[in-house]
Structure 1
Amino acid sequence: MIQGKTIVVKVGSSLLANPERLTPRWAFMHNLLEDIARLREGGAKVILCSSGSVALGFNMIGERPETAGLRDKQAAAACGMPLLLNAYKQVAHEYSFEIAQVLVTLRDLEDRKRFLNTKNTVDRLLDANIMPIINENDSITTAEIRVGDNDRLSAKVAQMVQADELIILTQVDGLYDKDPSDPDARLVEQVTDVSPYLAVTEGVSSLGSGGMLTKMQAAHMAQNAGCETRIAHGEFEQPVTSVLKGERPHTRVLANEKPSSAWASWLTDRLQIAGSIVVTAEVTKALESGARHIGRADVLSIQGPYVKGDVIHLYDEAGNELARGLTNFSSDETMALARNLEISALQLLGYETGGTLITGRNMIVLDDSHLQWDVPDDDEMAEVAF
């Protein structure tokens, strides 16, 4: 049953833009939005996560994807954004529904308050029967603050709206057990655990920034939130409906039977690492029994910089990730507290505080359902040991 479902559809640049002319692929857009209109008429709520603005803006600035740098891509995004939305608006009007654009950056999704503000906007649009089209704001983001791929962006959106289905439309039929160019490669029709497949999912398209790896990471994020993911070829009649009805080959990543809460999903499924701390062996042992407060004496080293309210990653001394939690202090404040245990927090920081770095209620201890992050390289973050 599709009626009443909340569906997030992700479409990549290679489907929306002609790779040679870098112009909108109108036939595909008509096919997609006609199908979405049909879903909406059947009672489904649909959110579209769309790439394409950068690719469509290259002609205006006289650049090509192969040679473009960061500044070129930012300028191309500014030029291509109105082209993309105008194309969507024209086609949507032909099928008698309204669209709205929601531009986000990494910080909008990683900061709890901004995440909830974005959710409120999307929910209000859905209440008004307007289809949100969510894009990363590529015209202002840099490599350090961008989401990096719209696959994982779509998964965060699916978590945000507690979607039933995440449909990722691409240029292959789905996930293969080896490189699709290998004649022995077989389509993987159903996945419960994405971990075994991550090693065979390298490679990106010429226009997009994500490959099958990011799609599987997105599927993992969605399944933790109780959302099913389907990865399928976009060039097909009724590209979304045909997948939902199982009428053509695709990869279906099942949702977890016992999904995480909305809070736990947001806390654990990160798009970028803000910072990390290494904790003592005593804390490592204690976390085996569940979340607990992390105090200033529990920290051996930190990597940052990060600010108060960031989600930071906790590691043991061997580099194994243990947990993720919402920090009560910036990396500078944490450093001051952990280095000077004999001095009160009031003297160090200038205000009264108990000195708890992370409270147990704001922490999730990782289990087998979470993909661990490697300890950041020294050249990614500054590390300070105590």
Structure 2
Amino acid sequence: MSMSKRIVVKIGSSLLADSQQLTLRYAFMHGLLSDIAKLREQGIDVVLMSSGAVALGLNAIHKSPEEAQILDKQAAAAFGQPLLLNAYKQVAHEFGFDIAQILVTLGDMEERRRFINIKNTVERLFDNGIMPIVNENDTVTTEELRVGDNDRLAAKVAQMIQADHLILLTSIDGLYDRPPHEDGAQFIEKLENVGDYLEAACGTNALGSGGMYTKLQAANMAQQAGCNTLIAEGIIDRPILSVLNGERRHTTCMAFGTPASAWKVWLTNRLQMAGSLVLNQGAAEALVRTPQPITHTDIISVSDTFQKGDILHVYDESGQEIARGLTNFSSDEVLLLARHPEASTAELLGYSAVPDVIATKNLVILNDNHLSWDAPTEDIHLVAS
């Protein structure tokens, strides 16, 4: 095995908590932290992405995973989080290292300054030999304002720390070309284009919030940052090292060579769509040929409500996503500018500003390696109204 210097390991609730009793699976936790201790001894920094707080707290609020609603899950997370962290702390001490907890929200990962603050916290923990355990802050998130799965969140963390490997431990041994219970299902050992298998990767379980589909989305995000993704079964004995050493079957999603800059990787890999623009076909074709600013005269419709500094998805008139970039204006301001192309920015907005809706330096043209997002079908505001 060619050892990585940084690894992100993601484990789901179904591996940590017994699905019937909703209690911790200590045997798995011991095997997991034993492997992490060995990696740390070899000078490797590890971030652990761990679900489990909600599952461990459901008994306390007398709810099953199937019937729990968002308020139930928030309360369960509040009860289960200290149980989970106390267990991690005790087992980690058995193996001679300490842990820290970082709870994040969708906004923390999508807003650049907060993203950098989290990165700096992780780096300082590494400097002091402490392993960060990261999870979404389920006590405060709602369905509209949450990442929703730790697979893609783990990929964002892998991008953040420039990890070499993202390891997704799950309930099956990897990716198949169709649902694995179907006759003739073929195991996929290695792939580059995850888009070829998205249709076959559906489904989730009662405890988990993701499935193979979100794992492939996460793998694509990691690929953009030059990080390999390994998808494998979360077994009890040596769950990480047996994968890294190639001792058991798993799926590897290969990184795309030299990654773009950290800024461009952050721009293009989103967890949620803040808003979008549709450009007239001429402007869209010119943009793809030669990256250039997007101006208000290029825009024929605006979707969703967004603020200055949000990342927008940019489409041509056929609905093909062509770019993503950071907006200089809110959705209301963009519409006002686009509907009055003859007026100056100062006249319309009351302050002077460069009229570029998205500047070239804050824009990334998508290529075939990016998974595109479907164009919105609701909350569309036409410029010519």
Same fold (TM over 0.5): yes
For 1:253, the equivalent position in structure 2 comes to 253
Q: Secondary structure at the match of 2:68?
A: coil
**Equivalent residues in 2 for 1:6-25 (5 A)?**
6-25=6-25
**Residue pair 1:290, 1:365 contacting (<8 A) in 2 also:** no
For 1:79, the equivalent position in structure 2 comes to 79
Q: How far apart, CA to CA, are the structure 1 residues paired with 2:94 and 2:361? A: 49
Q: CA deviation at 1:258?
A: 2.9
Q: CA deviation at 1:377?
A: 2.5
Q: CA deviation at 1:4?
A: 5.5
For 2:131, the equivalent position in structure 1 comes to 131
Q: CA deviation at 1:296?
A: 1.2
**Residue pair 2:4, 2:165 contacting (<8 A) in 1 also:** no
Structure 1: runs of 5+ lacking an equivalent: none
Instruction: Assess, with a 3 A threshold, how the Cα gap between structure 1 residues 49 and 2 changes in structure 2: closer, same or farther.
Output: farther
**Residue pair 1:305, 1:382 contacting (<8 A) in 2 also:** no
For 2:66, the equivalent position in structure 1 comes to 66
Q: CA deviation at 1:284?
A: 1.1
For 1:277, the equivalent position in structure 2 comes to 277
**Residue pair 2:100, 2:133 contacting (<8 A) in 1 also:** yes
Q: CA deviation at 1:333?
A: 1.1
Q: CA deviation at 1:117?
A: 0.8
> Amino acid of the residue matched to residue 297 of structure 1?
T
Q: Secondary structure at the match of 1:232?
A: strand
Query: How many equivalent residue pairs?
Result: 384
**Equivalent residues in 2 for 1:1-386 (5 A)?**
1=1, 3=3, 5-378=5-378, 381-386=379-384
Q: CA deviation at 1:339?
A: 1.3
Q: How far apart, CA to CA, are the structure 2 residues paired with 1:328 and 1:274? A: 14
Q: Secondary structure at the match of 1:284?
A: helix
Instruction: Assess, with a 3 A threshold, how the Cα gap between structure 1 residues 166 and 157 changes in structure 2: closer, same or farther.
Output: same
Q: CA deviation at 1:182?
A: 1.6
Q: How far apart, CA to CA, are the structure 2 residues paired with 1:375 and 1:3? A: 41
Runs (4 or more) in structure 1 with deviation over 4 Å come to 1-4
TM-score (norm 2): 0.98
Q: State the percentage of identical aligned residues.
A: 56
> Amino acid of the residue matched to residue 133 of structure 2?
I
Q: Secondary structure at the match of 2:199?
A: helix
Q: How far apart, CA to CA, are the structure 1 residues paired with 2:186 and 2:372? A: 27
Q: CA deviation at 1:304?
A: 1.6
Q: Secondary structure at the match of 2:187?
A: coil
Q: CA deviation at 1:371?
A: 0.8
RMSD: 1.1
Q: How far apart, CA to CA, are the structure 1 residues paired with 2:202 and 2:356? A: 41
> Amino acid of the residue matched to residue 278 of structure 2?
V
TM-score (norm 1): 0.97
Q: Secondary structure at the match of 1:312?
A: strand
Structure 2: runs of 5+ lacking an equivalent: none
> Amino acid of the residue matched to residue 219 of structure 1?
A
**Cα deviations across residues 277-301 of structure 1 (Å, max 9, x unaligned)?**
1111221121122321011111101
Q: CA deviation at 1:186?
A: 2.0
> Amino acid of the residue matched to residue 219 of structure 2?
A
Q: How far apart, CA to CA, are the structure 1 residues paired with 2:2 and 2:13? A: 26
Q: How far apart, CA to CA, are the structure 1 residues paired with 2:25 and 2:242? A: 20
Q: How far apart, CA to CA, are the structure 2 residues paired with 1:110 and 1:211? A: 22
Q: CA deviation at 1:343?
A: 2.3
Instruction: Assess, with a 3 A threshold, how the Cα gap between structure 1 residues 76 and 158 changes in structure 2: closer, same or farther.
Output: same
